[in-house]
Chain A
Amino acid sequence: MFLINCPYCGERDQSEFSSGGEAHIERPKQPTELSDDEWADFLFMRKNIKGVQFERWNHSHGCRKWFNLIRDTSNDKIHGIYKMGEKPPKV
């Protein structure tokens, strides 16, 4: 149960949030131009790394805003939080 510092509300318990998986996977602007493999890559393939990972999180039981979070999946240390559309901070 970690603490997450929502960029809109401040520090809250993890139970208020839901995880949205890997961040920075942009939905292709022109899906019809993509091959099956390219589309499958967007749709299904996730890195799921052990270590520092960029993730999407939603303050679902709070302000309902989505934001990005940098988490080390091996020890749940959070190395940074930034709003959607912002550049990730250096880790």
Chain B
Amino acid sequence: MSNFRINKTNFVDQTNRISFKFDGKTFFGFKGDTLASALIANGIHLVGRSFKYHRPRGIMTCGSEEPNAICQINDKSNLTEPNVRATEIELYEGLEANSQNCWPNVKFDIGGINNLISPFIPAGFYYKTFMWPKSFWKSVYEPLIRKTAGLGKSPIKPDPEIYDHKYVHCDVLVIGGGISGIISAKLSAKNNLNTILIDDKKELGGSTIFQENEIFKINNKISKDWLINEINEIKKLKNLQIKTRTSVAAYHDYNYLLARESLSDHLSKNEKDGFVRQRLWKIRAKKVIIATGAIERPLVFNNNDRPGILLASSINKYLNYFGVTCGLKNVIFTNNDSAYEVAISLNKKGIDVKIIDIRKRSESELIKETEKLGIKIFWNSTITSTFGYRKINSIEIMSLSEDGSNVIGEKNKISCDCLGMSGGWTPMVHMHTQSGGKLNFRETDQVFLPKEFSDNRISVGSSNGHFELDEIIKLTNDTVKKFLNIQETDLDDADISCSKELEKRNIWLLPNYISIGKNKSFIDFQNDSTAKDIKLAMREGFKSIEHVKRYTTTGMATDQGKLSNMHALGIIAETAAVKMGSLGTTTFRPPFTPLTFGTIVGRSVGKFFDIVRKTPMHEWHVKNNAEFENVGQWKRAWYYPRNNENMHQSVQRESKAARDSAGILDASTLGKIDIKGSDATEFLNRVYTNAWSKLSIGKCRYGLMLNEDGMVYDDGVTTRIDENHYLMTTTTGGAANVLSKLEDYLQTEWPELDVWLTSVTDHYATASICGPNSKKILKKLFSDIEFNDQNFPHMSFKNAKIGGIDCRIMRISFTGEHSYEINIEAKYGNSLWEKCIDAGKDFNITPYGTETMHLLRAEKGFIIVGQDTDGTMTPIDLQMDWIVSKKKYDFIGKRSLYRSDTMREDRKQLVGLLTDKPNTVLEEGAQIVHEKNNKPIEMIGHVTSSYFSPNLNKSIALAVVKNGRKLKGQKLLVPMRDQTINVTVSDFIFYDKNNERLNA
């Protein structure tokens, strides 16, 4: 079986046998193999089906550009992973891989019928066909597409692996560990620069590391041996950090890069236990050297997608790096010299190989050696078709016409079991363009190259368009010297010998006697788009590359068009008869290769997902069976169910108890800002709508804060602690934003004010006790204070002590009941709370949560900013005219209250709503209309708060309604899915209109 493993190399340990499963069958490979090399060694090329036509597809490359060999890994575990490239995953004991995108299996594939009806699946087929009829989507199209075209399965259980993030800073980051990257890293590190070298493979060296041809020599050593020596040397350098199995995913502004390091993906289950799986490096580099190399281009000809057709350079890597041959009868199809190295390699191992070259002739050194070895070369020829279903078995070739636009002469059939194609090389300019760099087009070999270098970013080697060995070494040396300000280096007079390419010929779409409409010349192998699709798109009027790309889906698969973009551009340029350089390219967006979600999220999972803020009384709430509500990052007690109560029942009980006797609320989460300074009063005058100058020490006042556009922003009670000292409270959710906004005004608009703001939200815990018996409870807690309306009136505060600890008592109310808030240093919060509960026992003190608080305040018609307001409500809209000072010359938002729009009478205004059937409770958010008969129906408002009030024994709601002020007593409709609810506009204060209970 494994007669394809024909060579021993230093990179695969053939003494270390590893078993793995592919599509349920057990195979063997060796330590050092990738899944792809092990499969090829076992004679397996067919690994999947194409996306649209379900044609059999084989391994095509040996790297991240792989379009076909895409697998589902470890299908039965928590960690099953889709879309893994067989060419990238290293083999480990127990690896289980399945081919994707073929149903029911890779050899018999029902979707393959698409291939037979393919004349009917042109570009935009999905857009055109699946438009109609609408009802077919759910029942027919979607299940069909999902079943036949699904790109793998995502795991359904939590990911058990650990992921990490790490920040690093360096002087120089070198991306790419091929020959030019190694040269750059050595120069940098040897010149005392703190350097990081990153490469995505398991070891350094790029493609030079297995280059055995004697034509290519550096200082009289074969380039491979020279490079191995260099690698050994740089490994000794102290200020060079080498990161292999690490790929740079994104290159952002200011040399901020993200790289993913794979730490345990190559290990078996037993070996990886406890390891971090992948680490995201967040790198800030002073300077970046891009040495990402180039990717070989396929050639576009009829049936260029059969299993057994690979990139020529990949055949070379499988042979010389992994020791595996892809075929025993090979054909190399090329338009350039580099593929001749592959042919020579195969020939020297005694493997049959022929060459088809679209060029007319060349006399370079490589070609002379090829001819000397007796390898047959078909010049000026092209392939017109290939044959073989599960693997290629023969090809048909013809000669090219003088200008290359046609085929001429005899058809000639050649049998083979492997075809290598080489259409030249595409520099990997992704990193350069991601960082904001522009590109130039080089006509001679049709490549896009970095247009400019900056002071802190250069490209070297083949990613900068240098493909000949002498150029790579000399120009990398020169460029890096200049970039890093280095005077002289060992490479200044290096002696380099190599073959130079003398002839070039490029034809983006190779001609055929079969018309373009009838042949299958693939451009994007993963998304199955062909040259015909691109031509069709252009006939239909698509001109821009970005549009053609989306319409034909070329370059939009998981390989992101690494192999296809250039051909798509070339064919567009040829068809439209314009210069390719004038078309521009599609945008290269990060990530360069896909990142796992685990890597992106790192350790921020589970309880580290977000900050959770808990009040000092939190444990008490837990012990007393509270359900919690998230308010921003806070956990707030929502309600306290007793004896299997549901939420409604709990809230009804809590609300009744608070008004009948006493209730207690944990109000610690309210935002608290300590305000000090000789201009504190003036400051409050400017930020609130009402006046503060006359508030005496020891008194509290409610304030409303607007945005400069006049809309309500926040509210809360502020207490004057001392002459120049206030304590402001804000809404729970608004605390941080209010502080930022106030700071902004202080620093940028009113720097002359002597005011100092400190956030003290977390410093104090607050217990709020309300109800007719609250005074009695407070008396028990603070025996030395006289709780009567003279000594301690509503809206005032007192300093007090409880158990020897200082606290502040505010007599303020958000429920309409006689009520007190006790503030104490946070660490005593729980103890204060327990004392209150204890003192309240005789009065049936009932802890209540946020839901009851909302209900009680709604009974009183108090707004909640953010629930009854939405950033479009002025105080006038809220019918709170009383809080807007007419005397003050200015405050934030004042001028906006006199704009024509804010003075409109038909703005939405706050009203109360009563349902005609008192037991019907409206849904919050429900729309309100005048009448339902004239269509379109005008939406005149919506419900903002709605409850069943146990104290009034009926349903109550707050709403905002157009011109609501004038609608009191009128009937309106609230249409719901199953009924239309009749409501009457009412006052929005439903309970205790004269505030008698406050002073009860």
Contact = CB atoms under 8 A, between A and B. Distances in A.
A80 to B, nearest CB: 16
A76 B253 contact: yes
16 contacts: A2-B253, A20-B744, A31-B890, A32-B895, A40-B899, A43-B708, A56-B748, A60-B740, A65-B747, A66-B747, A66-B748, A75-B436, A76-B253, A84-B747, A84-B748, A84-B751
Nearest to B743: A64
Contacts of B889: 32
A27 B256 CA distance: 37
Interface in A16-65: 20, 26-28, 30-32, 34, 36, 39-40, 43, 56, 58, 60, 64-65
Interface in B741-760: 743-744, 747-749, 751
Contacts of B256: 1-3, 13
A10 interface: no
A39 B252 CA distance: 39
A38 B522 CA distance: 62
Contacts of A76: 253-254
A89 interface: no
B896 interface: yes
Contacts of A26: 749
Nearest to B901: A36
B775 interface: no
Contacts of B747: 65-66, 84
B487 interface: no
Contact of B896 (A13, A30, A43): A43
A11 B551 CA distance: 45
Interface string A56-88: 101010001110000000011000000011000
Contacts, number: 54
B610 to A, nearest CB: 16
B281 to A, nearest CB: 14
Interface residues of A, number: 26
B342 to A, nearest CB: 42
B900 interface: yes
Contacts of B895: 28, 31-32, 34, 39
B894 interface: yes
Contacts of A58: 740, 744
Contacts of A84: 747-748, 751
B748 A32 contact: no
Interface string B891-930: 0001110111000000000000000000000000000000
B284 interface: yes
B254 A1 contact: yes
Contact of B899 (A30, A39, A60): A39
A60 B889 CA distance: 31
Nearest to A1: B256
B709 interface: yes
Given A32-B889, A60-B740, A27 B253 contact: no
Contacts of B743: 64, 66
B706 to A, nearest CB: 12
Nearest to A36: B899
B287 to A, nearest CB: 14
Contacts of A39: 895-896, 899
A32 B894 CA distance: 8
A42 B419 CA distance: 69
A64 B743 CA distance: 8
A30 B899 CA distance: 15
A43 B436 CA distance: 34
B900 A36 contact: yes
Interface in B854-906: 889-890, 894-896, 898-900
A39 B747 CA distance: 22
A18 to B, nearest CB: 8
A1 B253 contact: yes
A43 B709 contact: yes
Contacts of B284: 3, 13
Contacts of B436: 75
A36 B743 CA distance: 27
B252 A1 contact: yes
Nearest to B892: A27
Give the 8 A-B residue pairs with the shortest CB-CB distance, closest first.
A31-B895, A1-B256, A2-B254, A66-B747, A27-B749, A2-B253, A3-B254, A1-B252
Interface string B730-773: 00000000001001100111010000000000000000000000
A32 B896 CA distance: 9
